[in-house]
Each structure stands twice: as structure tokens, then as C-alpha cells.
Chain A
Amino acid sequence: MADDTNGFLTRRRALAGIGGALGLGAAGLYLTADTAADVEDYAADFTVQSGASEGLGVDYADRPVLGSTDADLRLFAWSDYQCPYCRRFDEETLPELAASEVADGTVAVVFLELPLLGERSLTAGVVSKAVWRTVRDDDPNAWGRFHRFVFTKQGPENGEWATESNLLSYAGAVDGVPGDEVERLVANDRAALEASVQADASVAFDDLELERAAPLFALSNPNTGDWREIRGAQPIGTFRDAMTALREN
């Protein structure tokens, strides 16, 4: 009996060991896998807009817009791919906003770059602009997938994860993003892409005189011209309160 019990325990241990090894292996594969294919679209569509927004007068050209510009409000959202709070906003707040207020036409989110934390923030902004230029006509939602995927790759400030070659490899891994074309655009048109990124920052710091921080938001009611600044990865309630206030005024 004792032998049987020992044998049972041994088999159980062996099974547990195999299970544990498989689990660890799966975890390892998950951690090392290129998970771009797992990145989902936001629950609303990106659109290509032109002209300037009513109220704040921010030009839509070269800036991804999530939702329709027929929406009641605009949320101009500046972020730095190296900023952990920008990642938090993207992971925790934006999906919920997209599924509710963007989807129902309350607000459209306009994405702008904010290279705040160093040279590699600028590089990330440049690659982001290049991705938008290559996908906006055929598959604008691909930019959203790239945007989310880069945040999943976020590591230490100005670390290896944010080198140009790595950022280009992230772009190439995202479904719908023509990696070769993005690479060519970055190589051949870098000055213009950098100027576009800097123009985004200039809207925040020079035109609207927002604080030098990230993420930054300017929530605007184009009909009344009223707007308010929101700083940091605030909970969704903060955005909803601001939207309610701006719509009522």
C-alpha cells in the first residue's frame, strides 16, 4: 500500500512537474512572442480629416482622428510613447472612451505627438507619423493598432526598446502596416516627419500654453469655443465630468 501510495505520489509529482514545465514554457513563449497580432482595434474607427477644428483651430492634417468630426466635442490628446502615464491612459481610459463616448458621437479624439522624454521620444513620434502617412488612406485603424502595440513594448526611458530599428520592427509587425514603406519614409523624409512631430508639440506648448507634461489633453467644444485642459492619466470620470460640463455650457 505504501509503495502504491508512493508510486501515485511520484506520478502526481511527475505530472505536476510536466504541467509546470509546460506552463513555464508557455509563459516564456508569451513573454518573448511578437504579439502584434493580438493587439485589438479600438471600438471606434479612425478617420482622415482635413482643415482646422472649430474653436481651438487645430489643424487635422497629419493627425489621426478616432471617431467623426461630426462629434459634439474634440479631445486633443498629446502623448509620448516613453511616458508610463501615456501608456496607462491608452490601456485603461481610452478603450472605454472609444467604446462609449467616441462610438456614440459625443467626442472625437485627435492624436498628437509629444516628444517630451528624450531623443527616442522624437524617434517614436517620427515612426508614428510615418505609419499614419502610409496607412491613413487604406487602413487608418492600422495606426491605432501600431499605437497600442508600441505602448505594450514600452520599457525604460530611452532604453533599447525605443531605438529606431526596434520601432520600425514594431511597425512592420502590425497587421495592415507596410513595414518597408514606413522604413523608406523614415529614411527619406525624416526632416518633414520631425517637423510634423514638433508642430504637434508646438500646438500644446506655444499655441495653447499647456504645461510641459504628458499626457496632455485639450477638451474642446467646437460650437461654443470653450475648452479645458486635462493633465495626466486621469480616470475616465474626469474626462466624463469635463465633457458634461462642456456640453452644458
Chain B
Amino acid sequence: MTTSTSVRAATRAASERLYRALTYPLLSARTTALAVAVAAATYVVLVASADPTAFAAAVAVDVAVVPDLLVASTLGTYRAAGSLGLALTVAYAVLAGVATVVVAASVRSGAGGTEGLLGVAPGVLAAGCATCGAGLLPLLGVTGAYALFPYAGNLVRALGLAAILFALARTGDPRICRA
């Protein structure tokens, strides 16, 4: 087998594993619901954390304002990072839901769970950093935090997404034991 053939075979295998990991949550209503719930929660955390103090203060006064706040936060993310930044944030939230279900399935079975967790965790942290980090910095007195990240945080978001995709491509279908 030549080098290019083996590279093509490895790429094809990784693509198939990624496809199986991405579609795994859709195989049952329970895993789909978990993935959607985690994705929604992640999205709320990501967009709300752009200005966590204002979000927390408003929620403390009246929980009914949460939908309006989410719309405002979404618009805030769009204005700060553009449509690409918003798309990356949504994609990150969806992948966080998928990764949670895949890792939970691995941990539950005891098959390669630690590896799965360690594989996905860096991507989750990296991508989360893009928005949560920007949101947390104001708490420390740093204003205009998005400006501190290259391309308004989009580069870090994209790297984080790539990290999660890489981790999922390694894990594949979680119903498999690996050496």
C-alpha cells in the first residue's frame, strides 16, 4: 500500500467515523433529546456570557425577560463577531450536544470512556473559550473583550470546532471498543 493510498484510506475511515459520531444521537429519541437539551443550554451559556453580569442581573429581577435577553444576546454576538461568528457559535452548541451524548455513551459502557472524555474535552474548552472567555473577561474589569481575540474570537471558535470534530472523528460510533 503506497503512502497516498494509505492516507486516502485513513481519511475515508476518519470521515466515516465522524459521520457515525455525528449521527449517533439521532438513533434514539432519548439521545436526540439529550443532544438538543445540551445544545440549547450551551447556546444560552455562550451568547449570554458575552455580558454575564447584565444577564444575571436581569434574570434576578424577572425570569420572563430571558427570551428577550437571548434575542438581544444573539444580536450582540452577531454585531460583535458577524454572521460567521454566530454560525460558529450555533455549530459549536450543536457539536457540544453531540459530543456530550457520544462521551456519555462511552462512559456509560465503560468502553474507552476516559479516552473519549479526554479527546473531546480540549475541543470543548477551546471553543468555549472563544465566547465564555470573552464574556468572563468583563467580570475582571476588561471591557471590549471580543477585541482581544483574533477576528473577534472567530479564529478561536473555528479552532475549537476543528478540535471537537477531530475528537469525534477519532471516537466514531461509541458502541465500539477500541484497542
Contacts and interface: CB of A to CB of B under 8 A. Distances in A.
Interface of A: 80, 82-86, 88, 116-117, 156-157, 211-215, 231-235
Interface stretch (B89-97, B131-139, B160-168, B171-179): B171-179
Contact of B173 (A80, A88, A156, A232): A232
Contacts of B177: 80, 82-86, 116-117, 213-215
Interface of B: 13, 27, 109-111, 173, 175-179
Contact of A212 (B27, B110, B111, B178): B178
B176 A117 contact: no
Contact of B179 (A86, A212, A232, A233): A212
B179 A84 contact: no
Main secondary structure of the interface of A (DSSP, over half): loop
B111 to A, nearest CB: 5
Contacts of B27: 235
Contacts of B178: 116, 212-214
Contact of B110 (A84, A116, A233): A84
Main secondary structure of the interface of B (DSSP, over half): loop
A156 B109 CA distance: 11
A82 B176 CA distance: 12
A241 B13 CA distance: 22
B176 A213 contact: yes
A131 B110 CA distance: 28
Contacts of A86: 177
Minimum-distance CB pairs A-B, first 10: A83-B177, A232-B175, A232-B176, A233-B175, A84-B109, A213-B176, A214-B177, A84-B111, A116-B179, A232-B173
**Residue among A86, A231, A234 with max Cβ neighbours from chain B (10 Å):** A231
A135 to B, nearest CB: 27
A99 B110 CA distance: 28
A83 B175 contact: no
Contacts of A84: 109-111, 177
**Residue among B27, B173, B177, B179 with max Cβ neighbours from chain A (10 Å):** B177
Nearest to A234: B175
Contacts of A117: 177, 179
13 contacts: A80-B177, A82-B177, A83-B111, A85-B177, A88-B175, A212-B178, A212-B179, A213-B177, A214-B176, A232-B176, A233-B175, A233-B176, A235-B27
Contacts of A85: 109, 111, 175-177
Contacts of A231: 173, 176
B174 to A, nearest CB: 8
A215 B177 CA distance: 7
A26 B26 CA distance: 41
Contacts of B13: 211
A213 B176 CA distance: 6
Contacts of B111: 83-85
A77 B176 CA distance: 14
A11 B110 CA distance: 45
A230 to B, nearest CB: 11
